[in-house]
């Protein structure tokens, strides 16, 4: 039987112990692995693996010895409780062993959990699980988690009191990060809020969200965007001392102003534009960039991007004679002056 995308998350959290088995397949190995971990943990409990109620079988071994899976589902351990025979990374070469185990399964045998990559509708394994009266097949796609799934993960992490702004930030973050990275971020947030009774805020999410590689350039970019031309010189000296190259700074400035332009030019206004950014922007940084986008406006940001494009072309020109650092510093000062008009 097929598990629909709507029903699958609920089943993964509360699987039925009397089923013959479950096939989880999809193109994203991380998403498949996380769902498999969730299902197996729900079936055998936290001590199941220690009590040897979980048998792991790489699919490659089934090709050599097809009887391994049947033996695994029939074997009785020393500890009572539900058992799982897990087949990892199944391909069509493992189909004979898996189909034989589905036919041999009887009530009381270990449940068969199979993971696989993307399977075609004609796959023997997929057709066997989808056509079985007591087994399920679930396809995992690259869709971001729903609000309900995020709330369930937050509850597991011990986070219950969450502000609306924080939930909006987490939803945006879930769309931008891989599932494994998002789960690690939630774990980091739960540790960050340990013994803190206050609601989870947008600032808390921002403090725990992964930082971009251009984080050290944020200060000078904000200085430029906010028209503080007098502070550009000292900041440039500091960045040069840190080894930041002029071309890197020019690229970062172009990206920053392109982001501001995307927000300012949004048909619904800068507030909606900043909420649609990918990767998302969080907390105080989001508020600051929103003020910058509103202050500049789309027309002036177009002029700013034109100036940065000219500077970038000049840096890459074979005939230019002015020092790169001086050219970039002059461009940043001109941008800061432009913001005051």
Does residue 110 share a domain with residue 176? no
Q: Which of 99-113, 151-165, 220-234 is predicted with the least confidence, judged by mean pLDDT?
A: 151-165
Output the six-digit token pair for 77.
């351990």
Q: 131 or 296: which carries more pLDDT confidence?
A: 131
pLDDT tier at 131 (50, 70, 90 boundaries)? very high
Peptide bond into 279 cis (omega under 30): yes
Alpha helices by DSSP H, listed for 116-245, are: 124-131, 147-156, 164-176, 179-192, 202-208, 218-225, 232-241
Does residue 160 share a domain with residue 40? no
Short-list 42, 37, 114, 101, CA closest to 73: 101
The whole-number pLDDT of residue 54 equals 94
Q: Using CA atoms, how far apart are residues 85 and 57, in angstroms rounded to an integer? A: 7
Contact in structure between 282 and 205 (CB atoms under 8 Å): yes
Does residue 59 share a domain with residue 20? yes
Q: How many CB atoms lie within 10 A of CB 189?
A: 24
Q: In whole angstroms, how far apart are CA 71 and each of 28, 65, 112, 292? A: 30, 11, 12, 66
Does residue 301 share a domain with residue 270? yes
The whole-number pLDDT of residue 211 equals 58
Output the six-digit token pair for 196.
């803190």
For residue 212, is pLDDT > 60?
no
The order of strands in the sheet holding 21-25 is: 2-3, 135-139, 21-25, 111-116, 84-90, 54-58
Beta strand extents in 260-336 (DSSP E only): none
The last residue of a domain, from among 167, 185, 208: 208
Q: 144 or 78: which carries more pLDDT confidence?
A: 78
- SS3 call for 2: strand
Output the six-digit token pair for 271.
């507030």
The enclosing domain of 97 has a CATH number of 3.40.50.300
Give percent of the chain above pLDDT 70. 95
The whole-number pLDDT of residue 28 equals 83
Q: What is the mean pLDDT of residues 3-7?
A: 83
Output the six-digit token pair for 243.
């080894």
For residue 213, is pLDDT > 50?
no
The whole-number pLDDT of residue 216 equals 57
Does residue 57 share a domain with residue 80? yes
The whole-number pLDDT of residue 115 equals 95
Q: What is the mean pLDDT of residues 211-225?
A: 70
Does residue 329 share a domain with residue 241? yes
Q: Using CA atoms, how far apart are residues 299 and 260, in angstroms rounded to an integer? A: 11
Does residue 193 share a domain with residue 224? no
Does residue 108 share a domain with residue 231? no
For residue 63, is pLDDT > 60?
yes
The last residue of a domain, from among 158, 187, 208: 208
The last residue of a domain, from among 139, 170, 198: 139
Short-list 151, 150, 193, 335, CA closest to 252: 335
Output the six-digit token pair for 119.
């399977």
Question: How many structural domains are present in the chain?
Answer: 3
Q: Using CA atoms, how far apart are residues 133 and 41, in angstroms rounded to an integer? A: 24
Does residue 286 share a domain with residue 181? no
Q: What is the mean pLDDT of residues 180-196?
A: 84
Output the six-digit token pair for 173.
């973050």
Contact in structure between 48 and 86 (CB atoms under 8 Å): no
Contact in structure between 111 and 19 (CB atoms under 8 Å): yes
Does residue 81 share a domain with residue 176? no
Q: 277 or 27: which carries more pLDDT confidence?
A: 27
Does residue 6 share a domain with residue 129? yes
Q: In whole angstroms, how far apart are CA 182 and each of 29, 36, 246? A: 15, 17, 33
Q: Which of 108-112, 158-162, 223-227 is predicted with the least confidence, judged by mean pLDDT?
A: 158-162
For residue 215, is pLDDT > 50?
no
The range of the structural domain enclosing residue 44 comes to: 2-139
The whole-number pLDDT of residue 249 equals 86
For residue 264, is pLDDT > 60?
yes
What is the average pLDDT value for the chain, to the nearest integer?
Answer: 85
Short-list 97, 88, 114, 144, CA closest to 24: 114
Q: What is the mean pLDDT of residues 28-40?
A: 89
Burial of 281 per CB tally in 10 Å (0-12, 13-18, 19+): buried
Does residue 116 share a domain with residue 35? yes
- Global pTM reads 0.56
């Amino acid at each position: 039987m097929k598990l629909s995308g709507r029903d699958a998350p609920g089943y993964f959290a509360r699987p039925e112990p009397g089923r013959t088995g479950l096939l989880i397949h999809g193109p994203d190995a991380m998403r498949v692995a996380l769902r498999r971990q969730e299902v197996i943990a729900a079936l055998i409990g936290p001590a199941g693996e220690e009590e040897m109620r979980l048998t792991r079988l790489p699919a490659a071994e089934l090709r050599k010895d097809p009887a391994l899976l049947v033996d695994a589902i029939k074997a009785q351990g020393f500890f009572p409780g539900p058992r799982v025979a897990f087949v990892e990374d199944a391909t069509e070469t493992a189909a004979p062993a898996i189909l034989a185990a589905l036919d041999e399964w009887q009530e009381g045998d270990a449940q068969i959990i199979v993971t696989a990559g993307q399977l075609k509708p004609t796959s023997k394994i997929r057709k066997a699980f989808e056509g079985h009266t007591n087994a399920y097949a679930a396809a995992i796609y690259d869709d971001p988690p729903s609000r309900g799934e995020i709330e369930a993960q937050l509850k597991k992490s011990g986070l219950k009191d969450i502000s609306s702004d924080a939930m909006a930030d987490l939803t945006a973050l879930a769309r931008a990060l891989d599932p494994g990275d998002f789960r690690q971020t939630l774990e980091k947030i739960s540790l960050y809020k340990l013994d803190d009774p206050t609601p989870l805020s947008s600032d808390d999410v921002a403090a725990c969200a992964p930082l971009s590689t251009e984080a050290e350039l944020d200060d000078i970019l904000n200085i430029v965007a906010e028209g503080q031309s007098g502070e550009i010189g000292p900041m440039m000296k500091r960045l040069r001392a840190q080894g930041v190259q002029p071309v890197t700074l020019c690229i970062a400035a172009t990206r920053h102003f392109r982001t501001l332009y995307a927000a300012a030019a949004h048909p619904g206004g800068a507030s909606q534009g900043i909420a649609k950014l990918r990767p998302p922007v969080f907390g105080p940084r989001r508020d600051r960039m929103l003020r910058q986008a509103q202050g500049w406006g789309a027309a002036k940001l177009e002029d700013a991007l034109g100036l940065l494009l000219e500077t970038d072309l000049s840096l890459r020109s074979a005939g230019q004679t002015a020092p790169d650092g001086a050219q970039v510093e002059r461009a940043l000062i001109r941008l800061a002056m432009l913001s005051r008009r």
